[in-house]
């Protein structure tokens, strides 16, 4: 099924918008900084050279949570452009607040559904990397259809990556990790970076978050997957 042809009003969402508690600092950042860094009001397909006022590799992170990983990456790699998608306002506010405190200028944000953003705003073959870290695994079998990683989604990511571009995923839920691995392995245009065609150790490019550190202390496993778009 082509996800571009799905009626967005009736499409099954991979997320639930939760109100969440927002701090005064996050609320202030949303009010003062969101208009400066939000791409949702950009008319038509995004022109990255115009949005970032430079030509550079653009990395998309889908569902950046509270933004710690995205902030760390952007600070460590100022030569790259970063675009973060997150539907939860406290997380966006936290990211913007961190950007202001650390004087980080190479991040732009969107509060739009990721699938709609990919369909309507992201140009084909424009991204050097797409990151999807710890998406909601929707544990119950009846909710598996809500998982963002499916064949149509992976095919859409493929069209938005440049040749040689990277799709990096991570999850702390083994069943979902195996589902991701099976889904991406079925797409011939993706090549698994892993030597044994399974999972890879956490690369240095993915910062260790508080969430992950807490999980490690509890003995939770983490599975990273990295697939490259074939250049043929």
Find the Cα–Cα–Cα–Cα dihedral 229, 189, 163, 179, rounded to 10°.
-30
Measured CA to CA in angstroms, residue 91 lies from 97, 135, 180, 190 at distances of 10, 14, 25, 31
What confidence score (pLDDT) does residue 140 get? Answer: 52
* Cross-strand bridge partners of residue 226: 168
* Cross-strand bridge partners of residue 111: none
Which among 145, 155, 161, 142 is positioned nearest to 183, based on CA atoms?
A: 155
Task: Output the DSSP codes for 97-144.
Answer: HHHHHHT--SEEEE-S-HHHHHHHTSPTT-EEEEEEES-----SGGGG
> The pTM is what?
0.89
pLDDT digits (tens, 9 = 90+) for 180-211: 999 999 999 999 999 999 999 999 999 987 77
> Chain centroid to CA 216: how far?
22
Tell whether 12 is covered by a domain: no
Residue showing tokens 């936290």: 94
Tell whether 9 is covered by a domain: no
Tell whether 43 is covered by a domain: yes
Q: Give the CATH number of the domain where residue 88 resides.
A: 3.40.50.150
Angle at 4 between CA 122 and CA 192, to 5 degrees: 65
Considering its fold, how many domains does the chain have in total?
A: 1
| pLDDT score of 143 more than 70 | no
Tell whether 189 is covered by a domain: yes
pLDDT digits (tens, 9 = 90+) for 33-62: 999 999 999 999 999 999 999 999 999 999
**Containing structural domain, residue 155:** 17-229
Strands (E), 146-231: 161-171, 190-192, 223-229
Measured CA to CA in angstroms, residue 140 lies from 13, 86, 121, 153, 174 at distances of 15, 23, 32, 20, 14
Tell whether 103 is covered by a domain: yes
Tell whether 8 is covered by a domain: no
Polymer length of the chain: 232
Tell whether 81 is covered by a domain: yes
Q: How confident is the model at residue 146 (pLDDT cuts 50, 70, 90)?
A: low
Tell whether 7 is covered by a domain: no
- The catalytic residue among 40, 113, 136, 224 is 136
Spatial contact of 187 and 230, defined as CB atoms under 8 Å apart: no
Q: Is 136 a catalytic residue?
A: yes
Calculate what percentage of the chain has a pLDDT beyond 90.
Answer: 78
What confidence score (pLDDT) does residue 217 get? Answer: 82
């Amino acid at each position: 099924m082509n996800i571009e042809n799905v009626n967005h009003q009736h499409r099954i969402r991979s997320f639930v918008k939760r109100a969440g508690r927002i701090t005064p600092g996050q609320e202030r950042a949303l009010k003062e900084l969101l208009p400066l860094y939000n791409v949702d009001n950009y008319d038509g397909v995004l022109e990255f050279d115009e949005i970032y006022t430079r030509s550079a590799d653009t990395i998309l992170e889908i569902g950046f949570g509270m933004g710690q990983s995205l902030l760390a990456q952007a600070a460590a790699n100022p030569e790259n452009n970063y675009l973060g998608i997150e539907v939860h306002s406290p997380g966006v506010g936290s990211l913007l607040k961190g950007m202001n405190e650390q004087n980080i200028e190479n991040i732009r944000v969107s509060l739009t559904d990721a699938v709609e953003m990919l369909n309507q705003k992201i140009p084909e073959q424009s991204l050097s990397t797409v990151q999807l870290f710890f998406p909601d695994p929707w544990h119950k079998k009846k909710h598996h259809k809500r998982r963002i990683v499916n064949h149509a989604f992976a095919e859409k990511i493929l069209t938005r990556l440049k040749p040689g571009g990277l799709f990096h995923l991570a999850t702390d839920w083994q069943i979902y990790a195996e589902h991701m691995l099976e889904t991406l392995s079925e797409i011939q245009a993706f090549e698994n970076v892993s030597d044994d065609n399974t999972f890879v150790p956490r690369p240095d490019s993915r910062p260790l978050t508080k969430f992950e550190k807490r999980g490690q202390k509890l003995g939770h496993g983490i599975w990273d997957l990295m697939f490259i778009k074939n250049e043929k």
